[in-house]
Amino acid sequence: MNELTWETADEIALALAKRVQKIRRRRKISQEALSSKCGVSLGSVKRFETTGLIAFLSLVKIAMALDISDEIKELFKEVPYLTIEEVIRENR
């Protein structure tokens, strides 16, 4: 990471958590109902929405329960090359 980072990892995680929380609320699903539906503990759901901290597998389960798992599947799918060396290494 040679370039400047304008957001910390914690800030990115919390922003993601707030987006997921907004989707949950839009769908009128309580934290308790989401926990029950996806099999992630209520404490983990609450902690995620408050701090952004969550195990990746639990995030996937929450996304599946909210019917937004395609967003997770698309993560890192189309990552641009940073250098010509990356293109050469990938094609070897």
CATH of domain 9-90: 1.10.260.40
Contact 16, 56 (CB under 8 A): no
Q: Is 52 left (phi over 0), alpha (psi -120 to 50) or beta?
A: left
pLDDT attached to residue 14: 97
5-40 confidence digits (pLDDT tens): 789 999 999 999 999 999 999 999 999 999 999 999
pTM: 0.84
- Quick: pLDDT tens for 32-86: 999 999 999 999 999 999 999 999 999 999 999 999 999 999 998 888 999 999 9
Domain spans of the chain, in order of start:
9-90
pLDDT for position 90: 87
